[in-house]
Chains A and B, each alone.
Chain A
């Protein structure tokens, strides 16, 4: 189930959705030069207090009665530790949550990045009223995707039209591939 980084990130996106976020910003830096894949997920949801933040990444205190998030953060923390990276949560009640994590790009335990287009499509499909900004950056280029721009272009037509969902998936994957291309050649 958690075979690639996209699935780990999707779990965190689902936390943001459950926290009532209206805007979720996902930034990914994918760099050979620095041997790092770093990502941050920032939302404007209801946030967590200090005690909850402490518990959030601990799988053994996970209980649906004490907090309404799953194992996503615990898994991501474990992944970051296994793959020579870092993990941090910063949250303010009423303002939102910022989750930052990184892994070594060339670490043997680091999974594939996975299908980010599909990940975004699934997340968008679960609630089209939430807006997303995706920023993907490599050593050579950058790709930015913003659902607010898409919605403006569509002027009232739903993002949930299947043709549009597929277009979103393909557009994101195409943009990411382009950002990966070494333009120095």
Chain B
């Protein structure tokens, strides 16, 4: 059973984590949640990202944005690193989202085959 009491514990755990990391998370994971994204299936992708991040404690924040301008590639997930570098993943589904978190955020390796570049050149696994 969930109760408001849980929040105190969660608050302490969150503060502890912030202390350990000293200054925020390394990655920002952004999901396009405009009509185009939602119609293409961004909602389950966002949910999966939030769930995986919570259970596996990935070093990232998950946020929403509007239309990225490439509706044909939705659902789109963008990963921003600390140094400003960024990767655009396209036609993401919940399974791909979980793999992106595991390999990109967890291990620091870009999942090449899901990127917009791969999709454009027709070599992607989409």
Q: Which residues of A contact B (CB under 8 A)?
A: 1, 70, 118, 121-122, 125-126, 149-150, 153-155, 157-158, 160-167, 170-171, 174
Contacts and interface: CB of A to CB of B under 8 A. Distances in A.
A102 B38 CA distance: 25
Contacts of B1: 174
A165 B54 contact: yes
DSSP class of A's interface residues: helix, strand, loop or mixed?
Answer: helix
A167 B55 CA distance: 12
Given A125-B64, A157-B11, 20 more contacts: A70-B35, A118-B47, A122-B33, A122-B47, A125-B50, A126-B33, A150-B4, A150-B7, A154-B10, A155-B11, A158-B14, A160-B63, A162-B54, A164-B14, A166-B50, A166-B54, A167-B7, A167-B10, A171-B2, A174-B1
Contact of A126 (B2, B51, B53, B64): B64
Contacts of A70: 35
A153 B7 contact: yes
Contacts of A165: 50, 54
Interface residues of B, number: 26
15 contacts: A1-B39, A153-B7, A153-B8, A154-B11, A160-B61, A162-B50, A163-B54, A164-B10, A165-B54, A166-B50, A167-B6, A170-B2, A171-B2, A174-B1, A174-B2
